[in-house]
Chain A
Amino acid sequence: MRANILKIPLIAALASAAVAAVAQQAEPGVPAATVIAIPPMTTPDTGTRGNEMLAIAWQATQIIEADLRQTSELVPLKPDQKDYYSYPEVTAPSFSTWRAKGARALVTGFVQMRSDGRLTFGCYVYDIDKRRELARRGFVVAANDVRRAAHRCSSLAYQAVTGSPANFDTRIAYVAETGTPGNIVKRIALMDSDGRNHSYLTAGDTLVLTPRLSPSANRIAYVSFSEGSPQVRLIDLATNQQSALIPTQTTSFAPRFSADGNRILFSMMQGPNCDIYVVNAAGGPAQRLTTAPGIDTGGSFSPDGRQIVFESDRSGTQQLYVMNADGSGQRRISFGGGVYAAPEWSPDGQWIAFTHRGPYGRRIGVMKVDGSEERLLTTGPNDDSASWAASSRELLFQRPDQTGRPGLFRIGLDGSAPRQMTIPQPGSDPDWSGATE
């Protein structure tokens, strides 16, 4: 482990002058990691309360370290309680100390108890080479919500260093799978992106598929077989109220919210034909967007809401297409061999993630919006259901183990190896929310 930490600064030092402060474009296959120091946070409080706050600050520091360690772009130095600093040093850190340890970025901060019993977190991010503050932010949270404050500090650091939105204060919805082969019980599950606050939203008495979170993670659209045929339903997470997306009994599926949360795409059967429709998230009549004979499905909005990527087998095999949000200007963007399916537009608008089916099975890949720079990120043979992280630098996808039970994996665009997420049981159909702030 120590060897790793020592090696990475060298690689980082050899990289171009685009140091920590500079937003780096996510380029597949190009690893770029910035070493970041996270010494234990401090407190202005004194006496017994000061000790309490220091304990909370240490807890927060460890959460921030764990958050940043999950990423491909940042490599945190292990926090050491010997590196404790005083309150004034929060805004006047010893840059030379951290530069000597190989770090190029630094997080400092403090925790202070307010008179109302809540906690103030101060979070500061520095570029060590330039001896310059990159970002600072204060958060006020309930005394039992240290985790959220720490995630927000991690997000601040990640965004300041990489220029991309962070994934730490986000939710993941997926389908929890229990039971035995041939008799699988599926439930919609929801958790924070670090695996905390795990809960089940459906009872398991009905087959459910493909949960899709609204951008602010307050609603979930999903597919339910409660009426016999698959139909899109909605869950309001604040009230736990459930409702059908459209009033008819027609087979519908593949729901997905627009980035502003105001519209929902879905697919609906009409005879042997499957087309993509859009409906206002608040209700109202659905508008049909595709009419070509064949199966058009898997629609996903561009972040500006003006375009939609989708899959269609109108050419004979499933391929990816882009159209305007009103259904006009449909054009094919995938031209390789095999099948292209399950597209999702990245939050930064640059990439389309997809599942590719070829002789080796199913793999996850990405391509630019015009179909260029296509590359496969995973090795298969049964990978599927890619969902973007808010950072647009990572994907979540499903992959079965040797016994065929699916798990959830994260993979960076930088070509690093997939990492399995810890969930209480097998899971499939992951969906990662945007940054919820």
Chain B
Amino acid sequence: MRKTLILLLAATLIAGPAAAQLRLPVVGQRQPATPPVPLIDLLRAEFAAQSGGTTVYFGGNSSVLGPPARTVLAAQAAWLRRHPEVVVRVEGYADPGDTRDHALAIGARRAEEVRNYLILLGVPAAQIGATTWGKERPGPGRAVTVLVR
């Protein structure tokens, strides 16, 4: 476990510029080494950097994955296959103009579509959960892959 952590720290440091863009949690600016960056945050940063993003976008009332989304998800799947110990949750979001109930459904459907695509690309189903936020968070129609543990 500790070895993994060190490796990950090294990986994060090597991926310097990319990590900076991703607004990594600032490590030890006030008091070096305390509190330590949680492992999950490091994993999240690495996942985001190496899969080209955690988020894929959809057209209005659509859950169809376009080529850009498929590219991102292929990279996510590759990373997840290398990290079978990691569990993710795909969170689906509707468009702000959607009506409340439909928004919950379209968010769930988008999350399900992403989850199914990741499974198709070889990620074990047990590694991926899915949920919906409907239109309850600002932003466009999308699905975000969030590392849970």
Chain A residues in contact with chain B, CB under 8 A?
181-182, 207, 209-210, 223, 228-230, 251, 253-254, 267, 269, 271-274, 295, 297-298, 311, 313, 317-318, 339, 341-342, 355, 357, 361-362, 384-385, 429
Interface string of B83-107 (1 = CB under 8 A from A): 0000000000000010111101110
Among B97, B102, B106, B116, find the residue whose CB has the most chain A CB atoms closer than 10 A.
B102
19 new A-B contacts at CB < 8 Å, known A182-B137, A297-B105: A230-B132, A251-B132, A254-B101, A267-B101, A272-B63, A272-B109, A274-B108, A295-B106, A297-B102, A311-B101, A313-B61, A313-B102, A318-B102, A341-B101, A342-B99, A361-B97, A362-B99, A384-B99, A429-B100
B138 part of interface (Cβ distance < 8 Å): yes
A interface majority secondary structure = strand
Which residues on the A side are within 8 Å of B102 (C-beta)? 295, 297-298, 311, 313, 318, 341
Which residues on the B side are within 8 Å of A271 (C-beta)? 112
Which residues on the A side are within 8 Å of B137 (C-beta)? 182
Q: Are B61 and A317 in contact (CB under 8 A)?
A: yes
Q: Are A269 and B99 in contact (CB under 8 A)?
A: no
Checking A273, A317, A361, A384 against B100 with a beta-carbon cut-off of 8 angstroms, the contacting residue is: A384
What separation, in Å, do the CA atoms of A274 and B102 have in the docked complex?
9
Q: Are A251 and B63 in contact (CB under 8 A)?
A: no
Which residues on the B side are within 8 Å of A273 (C-beta)? 109
28 A-B residue pairs with CB within 8 Å? A181-B138, A182-B138, A207-B136, A210-B100, A228-B131, A229-B131, A229-B132, A230-B132, A230-B134, A253-B104, A267-B101, A267-B105, A269-B108, A272-B63, A272-B116, A274-B105, A295-B106, A295-B109, A297-B101, A297-B102, A298-B101, A311-B102, A318-B61, A318-B99, A318-B102, A341-B102, A342-B101, A385-B100
Which residues on the B side are within 8 Å of A209 (C-beta)? 100, 104, 134, 136
Closest CB in chain B relative to A336 CB, distance in Å: 16
Which residues on the A side are within 8 Å of B132 (C-beta)? 229-230, 251, 269
Which residues on the B side are within 8 Å of A384 (C-beta)? 99-100
Which residues on the B side are within 8 Å of A318 (C-beta)? 61, 99, 102
What separation, in Å, do the CA atoms of A251 and B102 have in the docked complex?
13
Residue count of chain B within 8 Å CB distance of chain A: 21
What separation, in Å, do the CA atoms of A317 and B104 have in the docked complex?
16
Q: Are A251 and B104 in contact (CB under 8 A)?
A: yes
Q: Which residue of chain A has the shortest Cβ distance to B139 in the bound complex?
A: A182
Which residues on the A side are within 8 Å of B61 (C-beta)? 313, 317-318
Chain B residues in contact with chain A, CB under 8 A?
61, 63, 97, 99-102, 104-106, 108-109, 112-113, 116, 131-132, 134, 136-138
What separation, in Å, do the CA atoms of A357 and B105 have in the docked complex?
17
Which residues on the A side are within 8 Å of B136 (C-beta)? 207, 209
Q: Are A341 and B105 in contact (CB under 8 A)?
A: no
What separation, in Å, do the CA atoms of A107 and B148 have in the docked complex?
65
Q: Which residue of chain B has the shortest Cβ distance to A207 in the bound complex?
A: B136
Checking B99, B113, B131, B138 against A251 with a beta-carbon cut-off of 8 angstroms, the contacting residue is: B131
Which residues on the B side are within 8 Å of A357 (C-beta)? 97, 99
Which residues on the B side are within 8 Å of A254 (C-beta)? 101, 104
What separation, in Å, do the CA atoms of A311 and B105 have in the docked complex?
12
Which residues on the A side are within 8 Å of B116 (C-beta)? 272
Closest CB in chain A relative to B5 CB, distance in Å: 27
Which residues on the B side are within 8 Å of A295 (C-beta)? 102, 105-106, 109
Given known pairs A267-B105, A269-B108, A317-B61, the reply for A355 and B99 (CB within 8 Å) is: yes
Which residues on the A side are within 8 Å of B99 (C-beta)? 298, 311, 318, 339, 341-342, 355, 357, 362, 384
Which residues on the A side are within 8 Å of B101 (C-beta)? 210, 253-254, 267, 297-298, 311, 341-342
Which residues on the B side are within 8 Å of A251 (C-beta)? 104, 108, 131-132
Which residues on the A side are within 8 Å of B108 (C-beta)? 251, 269, 272, 274
Q: Which residue of chain B has the shortest Cβ distance to A255 in the bound complex?
A: B101
Among B104, B113, B136, find the residue whose CB has the most chain A CB atoms closer than 10 A.
B104
Which residues on the B side are within 8 Å of A229 (C-beta)? 131-132
Which residues on the A side are within 8 Å of B100 (C-beta)? 209-210, 342, 384-385, 429
